[in-house]
Amino acid sequence: MVAGKVLMDRNCPEFLRDTAQSGYDDSDELIARWHGRGRQHYALTPRFAPTSTEAQLEACGALAQKHHDVFIQSHVAENTDEIKWVESLFPGHRNYLDIYDHYGLLSRRAVYGHCIYLDDRDRERMAETGAVASHCPTSNLFLGSGLFDFEKASASNMPVALATDGGGTSFSMLQTINEAHKVARLTGHHLTATQMFWLATTGAARVLELDDKIGTLAAGSEADFVVLDPNATPLLSRRMARTESLEELLFAFALLGDDRAVFETYAAGKRVHARDKRGTAKLELAPDALSPKIGRWNERPAGRFFVASNLSPAVRPAARAVLLQSR
């Protein structure tokens, strides 16, 4: 889990408001208490630029310098009204993204939600620093914020992952992949099913620098995964019966799958969710496939399973693996 105290010292309810100093002190204490302990990671979390003063963003940058391996998460360039508001609050900066850059908050492990209204220089800067664009399609479509430009993001080589957001309509990564496909098509870009699942899984883990632990079913990785049922609904089952490749199978899951397709969920090798047993999927792992003490894969599962990956249902990217049961 990657999480952190939200920093807001203006333009927010009084009962949520902190100060630049108290936010620094609280965050510093929480980092010492939780970051790198077990499976916990800390993220410095200015909600977004309009709810922090220059002093608070400066303090956040100082924490990022002090703790080089912590994460940073915030929002940027989500909608045009927000951008105008930011310009009024931070005169003298080139644009919205430049504010974060000015305070040392663009770096590897820095994740920025939305990133819709970036220009070419912004994308270049994201690529240079390794900062991640966290695409939240259900939120962007529901709020009418705009369309993320996959074509320009790809051309700039800036890191991108799929994610959900509190302003969206679902925390399901299958639904998120579904909407991401539509956003891409509306901007003249085509995402294959393989690309979409990769963005939500290994790709997300890689840009977070956690791909040695999560996002794959490789030996030694942490055994967080879900089992997807290809016969979860009559429509999905009908389409699956006609698939002739892994790409077609994944595309059917991406466009027709929902929470009913999630048959089981495992965390650190332990089953934490099981759908009712009326479904047809059945997980069969060799007795020694998992190391029970640490919940890691001893060897990559193979045989009767299609192998892909899936993102955990968190607001920010944290990749999980998926076993897709073969028919």
Mind listing the pLDDT tens digit for each residue in 243-266?
Answer: 999 999 999 999 999 999 999 999
CA angle (128, 213, 36) in 5-degree steps: 80
Closest CA to 224 of 323, 303, 325, 324: 323
- What are the structure tokens assigned to 246, written together? 């892994």
- Alpha helices for the chain (secondary structure H): 20-34, 54-66, 80-89, 96-102, 120-129, 137-143, 150-156, 173-186, 193-199, 202-207, 234-240, 246-256
Q: Does any domain span residue 241? A: yes
**145 and 244 assigned to the same domain:** no
Q: Does any domain span residue 219? A: no
Closest CA to 256 of 275, 238, 236: 236
pLDDT for residue 296: 65
**193 and 247 assigned to the same domain:** no
**125 and 231 assigned to the same domain:** no
**200 and 232 assigned to the same domain:** no
Structural domain count, the chain: 2
Q: DSSP labels for 111-177?
A: EEEE--S--HHHHHHHHHHTPEEEE-HHHHHHHT-----HHHHHHHT--EEE---TTSS---HHHHH
Give backbone dihedrals phi and psi of 263, rounded to 5 degrees, phi first: -80, -45
Q: Does any domain span residue 218? A: no
**20 and 86 assigned to the same domain:** yes
Residue span of the structural domain in which 93 resides: 2-207
Q: Does any domain span residue 216? A: no
- The one-character DSSP state at 222 is B
The C-alpha atoms of residue 157 and residue 172 are separated, in whole angstroms, by 26
- Contact between 272 and 214 under an 8 Å Cβ cutoff? The reply is no
Domain end residue (candidates: 172, 207, 242): 207
The C-alpha atoms of residue 283 and residue 295 are separated, in whole angstroms, by 16
**246 and 200 assigned to the same domain:** no
Looking at this protein, which amino acid is placed at residue 208? L
**148 and 274 assigned to the same domain:** no
The C-alpha atoms of residue 240 and residue 280 are separated, in whole angstroms, by 13
Q: Tell me the percentage of the chain whose pLDDT exceeds 70.
A: 84
Distance in Å from the first CA to the final CA of the chain:
33
What is the phi-psi region of residue 276: left when phi exceeds 0, alpha when psi lies from -120 to 50, beta otherwise? beta
Q: Tell me the percentage of the chain whose pLDDT exceeds 90.
A: 81
Mean pLDDT of successive 10-residue segments in the chain (327 residues)?
97 98 98 97 98 98 98 98 98 97 98 98 98 97 97 97 94 96 96 95 94 91 93 96 96 95 93 74 54 54 37 35 43
- Torsion of the alpha carbons at 42, 47, 48 and 52, rounded to the nearest 10: -100
pTM above 0.85, yes or no: yes
CB-based contacts of 11, cutoff 8 Å, min separation 6: 50, 51
pLDDT for residue 58: 98
Q: Does any domain span residue 213? A: no
